[in-house]
Amino acid sequence: MLFDMTIPASAFTEKKLKVLASIPLQVRLLKDEQLLHEFTTSPDQMLYDLSDVLEADVVVEVKLIPGSVVEFYPVVNAL
């Protein structure tokens, strides 16, 4: 299953990322294609605060970790 999404900073009103997934996902914050911050989500956690690194010209990439077995399609929202 392919699941890659890119979210511009302008889509965030609360600077939070909401993730509902049964498997960990890779999240990368990029500015001018340079990596600012990277982390892996946990199925036990739904909200991630991005206020420390999210600026106007940052994009957030969310990707499946290669080799992960996906039970259901992940749901990711910019808050």
pLDDT score recorded for residue 3:
79
pLDDT score recorded for residue 73:
86
In a domain, 67, yes or no: no
Taking alpha carbons only, the member of 67, 71, 66 closest to residue 43 is: 71
Taking alpha carbons only, the member of 2, 48, 3 closest to residue 29 is: 48
In a domain, 66, yes or no: no
pTM of the model as a whole? 0.92
Calculate ∠ Cα 48-63-43, nearest 5°.
Answer: 45
Q: Which residues form the domain of 43?
A: 3-61
Per-residue pLDDT of the chain (79 residues; tens, 9 = 90+): 567 999 999 999 999 999 999 999 999 999 999 999 999 999 999 999 999 999 999 999 999 998 888 888 899 999 9
pLDDT score recorded for residue 46:
97
| Total tally of structural domains belonging to the chain | 1
Residues 16/49, Cβ–Cβ less than 8 Å: yes
